[in-house]
Structure 1
Amino acid sequence: MRLFYGVQGTGNGHITRARVMAKELFKAGIEVDFQFTGRAFDKYFDMDIFNGYQLRHGLTFSFNKGQVSYIKSLLTSKPITFIKEVKELDLKGYDLVISDFEPVTAWAAKSQGIRVLGIGHQYAFNHKIPREGSDPIADLVMKYYAPVDIGVGLHWHHFGQPVLPPVIETKELSKKINKKKIIVYLPFEDTKIVIDHLIPFKNFEFHIYTADIVPSPSDFVVCKPLSREGFQQDLVDCAGIISNAGFELASEALQMGIKILAKPLHAQMEQISNAAALHQLGYGQVMHDLDVAAIDHWLHNANAIQVSYPNTARNLVEWIQNGMPEMTADYVEGIWNTVDIKHIHN
């Protein structure tokens, strides 16, 4: 079997999910060509697992002070380049085309009359799940940004809908947690402003992963360059994460029993909805703006939730190999029945 797999590269969550899928696809002996779009070519890192990959510009979103700017996104988009990339991508000879909310792959498949499978969190919004912050532009983006014929949605809970658990890598949990260690990943915020909000908490140590390395006035707040390996090493023994409300990192934190403080991007329906879901499920705390009081409350609340998810990537690969039969209620329920939830007090 030969697959073409397009991945949205604007944030690291889609790439993280693709790494897990790649591992299971290659293990099953499936040949896969990966394509990534949405960020500058020199901003990709730790990509060895993909055994070579294609890069295109695609489409991306622009951000300003922690908020999606649709006007700036439109002004900085390159529609002629995008149309050219769609026309130049030849998908003949592939047994299946997959898109993780990646527009060049999705539209190329559509224009060539090839059925495309969508795997990702965005496709869960085709069902009745927690949804907030919606507006006409957000609805259009979700519908037309990367259209697929079959969409397999992923979420932290099923909400009574035919969605699957997150695609994440199962890690061995650390037996020794540093209760003072906090990872901070707020890539769309001003790093200096983030540091200002952390300075009051001298009894903790903050590891900020950012592309914008700036000097810190205190030794308990450290900026670190983006690194998959370094991030994962810090994640193993940390007590909590402060991050935007992206899906994949929160999924990893839940799997590892790490408490979560989420700050969703303004005007970004997916992240606002994710924050609402975290709050509704009791899986994490939310602050809609950087807030010293909210950070203080969260830091001194030691409760966390651990959700043990199955190997959804392996389930998906087996489902693809079996010809992608209809996901019946019994099939979906059988997968969710393997999920285990525990309350953790670190």
Structure 2
Amino acid sequence: MKFLFIIQGEGRGHFTQALVMKEMIGRHGDEVVACLVGKSPSRQLPDYFLTKMNVPLLPFDSPNFLPTAQNKRPDLLKSTLSNLIHFPGFVSNMMFIRKKIKEYKPDIVINFYELLAGLTYLLFSPSVPMVCIGHQYMFLHHKFRFPQKSAIALFSLRFFTRLTSFGSVRKLALSFYPMADDIRRSISVVPPLLRSDVLNRQPVAGEYIHGYVLNSGYIEDIKKWQQKHPEEKLEFFWDKKDAEETVNITPNLTLHRINDKKFLYYMAGCKAYSTTAGFESVCEAVYMQKPVLMVPAHIEQECNAWDAMKIGAGVISNDFDLDKLLAIIPEYTPNTAFRRWVSHAESLIYAEFREVYENSNCTCEAKTSYPL
């Protein structure tokens, strides 16, 4: 089988999932022919992704969230207005996506939550089957339970998620735990996609707190906390594109530019982990048996954090109050069932691909044999 990836380039989670998926596809003797990446001018493709993907990488401008002046939570109104202004350019990028699908002739398109992929299938109906993958598709499952949040915000999240998957033949909902498939909505519940470096690494109980923040404004909160607790060692990662590889703020507070190997090294050796509640890194922390402080930056991450609480991942906070994280360390109990669930990821996901491929070939043969 030949696969074409379309990736939403906000944060590190989708990039990591794509790399794991590429390795999985290679182990089965199949091929990723190209990777289309939706990105914004404020983000750059991480170095680890550029060096490891090793297929044609074709970026295009895509709708994105714009942070507030404090560079923390996204400004939804500003983001909406900005994306509407740039919508004519997004239409040309949908045509670009359609052109590349025709050019590369994949058997399956895999969409990692990119909005323009769904809109391309809405407006242009490419003949190649599209499979969507991401934790967000759990939000469309009829049995998923949401936190008590704004009804408008939850509706918007589900509506956006539906748009990303318009025209898809299957939605693979990455989940913290097993759940029955939602057949009517074409949702298959599958385990998280974790890197082999995570699966094979032996965690140890360290003496420092590890962390990751997408928007750099949160760093000020972390600095203030560390000033009150100078004895606590903090090793945090960010993706500020003009930052040095390593910045020593104080003797016990170090900021690292995002690097996949270094990130996992510090994850494996920490005593606890703090993050803005992205699905991928929370999964890595739970797998490595580290308690997590989750500080959601928007409604999607609020749902991620709520869902992670169901498996005992850690604690939710409105800010980076690391006192809350330190408080749960003595009583934290690792979730061993999560590790068993993750071990089934490849077999379950690849079974879905084979079924989509076989169904697509049957459909094509039927159309060839019995033309209208």
TM-score scaled by structure 2? 0.79
Specify the alignment match of 2:27 in structure 1: 27
Specify the alignment match of 1:69 in structure 2: 75
In the TM superposition, residue 15 of structure 1 has moved relative to its aligned partner by 0.8
Tell me if the contact between 1:206 and 1:222 (Cα under 8 Å) persists in the aligned partners.
yes
Tell me if the contact between 1:86 and 1:108 (Cα under 8 Å) persists in the aligned partners.
yes
Specify the alignment match of 2:364 in structure 1: none
More helix by share: 2
Superposition pairs for residues 176-325 of structure 1, below 5 Å? Answer: 176-178=204-206, 180-188=207-215, 189-212=217-240, 213=243, 217-265=249-297, 268-291=298-321, 293-298=323-328, 301=331, 303-306=333-336, 307-308=338-339, 309-323=342-356
Judged with a 3 Å threshold, the aligned counterparts in structure 2 of structure 1 residues 118 and 146 are, in CA distance, closer, same or farther, namely: same
Counterparts of 1:37 and 1:325, CA distance in 2: 29
Specify the alignment match of 1:157 in structure 2: 177
* SS of equivalent to 2:177: coil
Specify the alignment match of 1:57 in structure 2: 61
Q: In the alignment, which of 135, 138, 161 is matched to residue 124 of structure 1?
A: 138
* SS of equivalent to 1:5: strand
Residue type matched to 2:139 in 1?
Answer: F
Judged with a 3 Å threshold, the aligned counterparts in structure 2 of structure 1 residues 184 and 79 are, in CA distance, closer, same or farther, namely: same
Counterparts of 2:26 and 2:228, CA distance in 1: 47
Judged with a 3 Å threshold, the aligned counterparts in structure 2 of structure 1 residues 190 and 263 are, in CA distance, closer, same or farther, namely: closer
Q: In the alignment, which of 163, 167, 190 is matched to residue 193 of structure 2?
A: 167
Tell me if the contact between 1:284 and 1:304 (Cα under 8 Å) persists in the aligned partners.
no
1:99-136 superposed Cα distances (whole Å, 9 cap, x missing partner) = 11112333223413433111111111111223233524
Q: Which moved more, 1:247-256 or 1:34-43?
A: 34-43
Tell me if the contact between 2:204 and 2:270 (Cα under 8 Å) persists in the aligned partners.
no
Specify the alignment match of 1:85 in structure 2: 93
Specify the alignment match of 1:332 in structure 2: none
Judged with a 3 Å threshold, the aligned counterparts in structure 2 of structure 1 residues 43 and 100 are, in CA distance, closer, same or farther, namely: closer
Counterparts of 1:305 and 1:185, CA distance in 2: 22
Residue type matched to 1:123 in 2?
Answer: Y
Specify the alignment match of 1:14 in structure 2: 14
Residue type matched to 1:319 in 2?
Answer: E
Identity %: 18
Residue type matched to 1:140 in 2?
Answer: F
* SS of equivalent to 1:282: coil
Tell me if the contact between 2:47 and 2:259 (Cα under 8 Å) persists in the aligned partners.
yes
* SS of equivalent to 2:195: coil
Computed over aligned residues only, the root mean square deviation of the Cα atoms, in angstroms, reads: 2.5
In the TM superposition, residue 323 of structure 1 has moved relative to its aligned partner by 3.8
Residue type matched to 2:193 in 1?
Answer: V
User: Structure 1, unaligned stretches of length 5 or more?
Assistant: 327-346
In the TM superposition, residue 261 of structure 1 has moved relative to its aligned partner by 0.9
Return the index of the structure with the highest Cα Rg.
2
Q: Which moved more, 1:253-262 or 1:306-315?
A: 306-315
Specify the alignment match of 1:46 in structure 2: 48
* SS of equivalent to 1:224: strand
Tell me if the contact between 2:209 and 2:272 (Cα under 8 Å) persists in the aligned partners.
yes
In the TM superposition, residue 286 of structure 1 has moved relative to its aligned partner by 1.0
Tell me if the contact between 1:199 and 1:221 (Cα under 8 Å) persists in the aligned partners.
no
TM-score scaled by structure 1? 0.84
User: Structure 2, unaligned stretches of length 5 or more?
Assistant: 182-187, 360-372
In the TM superposition, residue 302 of structure 1 has moved relative to its aligned partner by 5.1
In the TM superposition, residue 301 of structure 1 has moved relative to its aligned partner by 5.0
Tell me if the contact between 1:261 and 1:298 (Cα under 8 Å) persists in the aligned partners.
no
